[in-house]
Amino acid sequence: MKPPAIGYLRRDISGVAQSWDETQIRSLAERLGYRFTKTVVFSNRTENPLGRLIDVVATSEAVAVVVPNLAHLGDDVPDSLLAVCEIVTVSPETTYARTLPAITV
């Protein structure tokens, strides 16, 4: 079975291109071999969007979040999100691998 992925975008950033962004997210996820499950859409009025996105990742057991670009995540790759899943951007097409915690002996 293919690993699950979700899409994520900010409505206020996508604007009139939201439908196109959603199509590109879904298309890239499927092309990369993920089982695309849904797109999470927040706005600039959403409280704690990153925390809420991490909750969705956990409950959906997604291994990746696909976004149109890093602007939708605040222009940076959030370490807290990378701790739970991969991040894939549509433009530029880049995959940021999940960072696993260091093992101490």
Residues of the chain with pLDDT under 50: none
Could you state, in order of their start, the residue ranges of all structural domains in the chain?
Answer: 4-96
| CATH code of the region 4-96 | 3.40.50.1390
Render 68-87 in DSSP notation, one character per residue: SSGGGGTSS--HHHHTTSEE
Q: How far apart are CA 68 and CA 44, in angstroms?
A: 16
pLDDT computed for residue 102 by the predictor = 64
Q: How far apart are CA 50 and CA 33, in angstroms?
A: 25
pLDDT computed for residue 100 by the predictor = 77
